[in-house]
Amino acid sequence: MKCSKCGHENKDNAKFCTKCGGSLSAPSEGGSSDSSNSKFVIIALVVVILILVGVIGYFAFNSNSGVDDSSSQSSDDSAEVSSDDDSDSQKTTTTSSESKPKEWVSIGSYSGSGSGSKTIKVPKGKIKVELSADPILNYATNHLYVSGSNGESGGVDWGSTSPVETRSDSFEYNSDSEEEFTIDYYETVSWNVEFYRYQ
């Protein structure tokens, strides 16, 4: 056994150096200290791993519960919104059906110039017809006539001594079926016929 302090060679089973008296069992003590250090390192690593697992599990659990809470809350919100929308739509339907007043709504507008005729279909209902025209000159034959298959008609014309000016006319009727109307015009600068339905 060689002394680590003075380098003197001793017997293999000697515990102390015969020259300097130093202990010869120091290497074995160093080995035991290394093994104890490695035990501490292993324990520390196990503790760190356990802490990490706990932290990850904690955050994973909280994130899942947060998703569930938000989804349930969003479903509650959507339910509330849909119920509000339903009530609003019911209010709108009720209001529109009860309080919206009827009025004359245009269902057809026709215009032109010169001479000719035009046949059109007019739907059923309460109908109003408004017409107007300008003549080229004050001939006795200048005119704009609107006549229907139900016998309803209106129109304007000019005599040979009539002033050259715009003239207009209108009439109303009720019908339970579609009617056919003929617009007849002659020697006009411009003419216009408008059909309205009361709805």
Ranges of each domain in the chain: 1-100, 104-198
- Residue 156's Cβ-count burial label (10 Å; 0-12, 13-18, 19+) is buried
Residue pair 156/169 in contact by the 8 Å Cβ criterion: yes
3-class SS of residue 181: strand
Whether 83 shows a pLDDT value over 50: the answer reads: no
pLDDT of residue 151: 95
Average pLDDT value over all residues in the chain: 82
Which has more confidence, 94 or 38?
Answer: 38
Encode pLDDT of 137-147 as tens digits.
877 789 999 99
Contact status, residue 181 vs residue 120, Cβ threshold 8 Å: yes
Query: How much is the pLDDT for 9?
Result: 86
Would you state the pLDDT for residue 33?
A: 56
The pLDDT score that the predictor gives to residue 92 is: 54
How much is the pLDDT for 78?
Answer: 44
Amino acid identity at 21: G
Q: Which residues of 160-191 are buried (b: 16+ CB within 10 A; e: fewer)?
A: eeeeeeebebeeebebeeebebebebbbbebb
Tell me which of 2.40.480, 2.60.120, 3.40.1350, 1.10.1060 is the CATH number of domain 104-198.
2.60.120
pLDDT value at 87 more than 60: no
Task: Give the pLDDT band (50/70/90) at residue 29.
Answer: very low
11 falls in which pLDDT band (50, 70, 90)?
confident
To the nearest 10°, report the CA torsion of 94, 101, 150, 191: -130
What is the structure's pLDDT at 8? 83
